[in-house]
């Protein structure tokens, strides 16, 4: 596939003979029309295992889409936020070989950036369906502001459901409560928290706060 920085006479769009011009994320491309396969290619066991592992991670990541779209916005250059999150978690959080593939939840990354995260963050169930999050004051750190926003993510491995919020809680608050999806009541939850600036220009690495048991 050829990449055109500005195109020959500007970006090419549409089909010209056997060549198709297109633009994706402000990048102009030329690619040839796909050829029809004369016969099916027989895949090796290793290729099948790799494809199934890829499918496993793709499906696992779906409930996190709203959160990684916010948490990976600064790494989504010439690729989508979902692709950036997939790539990092595929390498870091996925363990084993298919069919024995699993997720290491302490290694999951839902945001990536240089903004300092919360200090001394702790999470607990205030009620069966209410999460209490507390943290220490750290406004004296460089690049930290009182109005930095929080992103909280709760995930049930059993139900494959994610819940949480993006924004609406300031770093300066030092505590917050969150009423979760009723389906998550009495379920074990993996919990993550991130911060990002009010203008959205900076984001922190996500912090794994552990598993909350029912």
Q: In sequence order, what are the residues at sequence separation of 6 or more whose Cβ sits closer than 8 angstroms to the Cβ of residue 155? A: 63, 64, 105, 161, 162, 163, 189, 190, 191, 192
Instruction: Dump pLDDT digits (tens) for 26-58.
Output: 666 667 766 666 667 788 988 999 899 999 999
Q: What topology does CATH give the domain 45-212?
A: Immunoglobulin-like (2.60.40)
8 A C-beta contact, residue 101 and residue 118: no
Q: In sequence order, what are the residues at sequence separation of 6 or more whose Cβ sits closer than 8 angstroms to the Cβ of residue 184? A: 129, 154, 156, 159, 161, 163
What pLDDT does 98 receive?
87
Distance (Å, whole) CA 155 – CA 181: 11
Instruction: Dump pLDDT digits (tens) for 130-159.
Output: 999 999 987 667 788 999 999 999 999 999
Q: Which two tokens stand for residue 154?
A: 């709760």
* Sequence spans of domains, the chain: 2-32, 45-212
């Amino acid at each position: 596939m050829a990449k055109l920085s500005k195109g020959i006479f500007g970006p090419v769009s549409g089909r010209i003979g056997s060549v198709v011009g297109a633009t994706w994320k402000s990048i102009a491309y030329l690619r040839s029309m796909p050829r029809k396969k004369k016969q099916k290619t027989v895949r090796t066991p290793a290729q099948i295992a790799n494809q199934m592992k890829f499918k496993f991670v793709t499906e696992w990541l779906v409930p996190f889409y709203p959160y990684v779209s916010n948490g990976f916005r600064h790494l989504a250059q010439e690729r989508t936020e979902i692709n950036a999150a997939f790539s990092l978690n595929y390498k870091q959080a996925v363990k084993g070989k298919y069919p024995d593939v699993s997720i290491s939840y302490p290694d999951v990354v839902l945001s990536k950036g240089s903004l300092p995260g919360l200090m001394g963050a702790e999470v607990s169930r205030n009620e069966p369906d209410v999460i209490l999050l507390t943290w220490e004051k750290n406004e004296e750190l460089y690049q930290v502001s009182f109005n930095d926003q929080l992103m909280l993510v709760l995930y049930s491995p059993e139900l494959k459901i994610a819940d949480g919020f993006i924004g609406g809680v300031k770093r300066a608050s030092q505590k917050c409560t969150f009423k979760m999806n009723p389906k998550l009541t009495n379920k074990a939850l993996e919990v993550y928290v991130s911060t990002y600036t009010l203008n959205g220009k900076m984001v922190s690495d996500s912090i794994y706060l552990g598993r909350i048991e029912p």
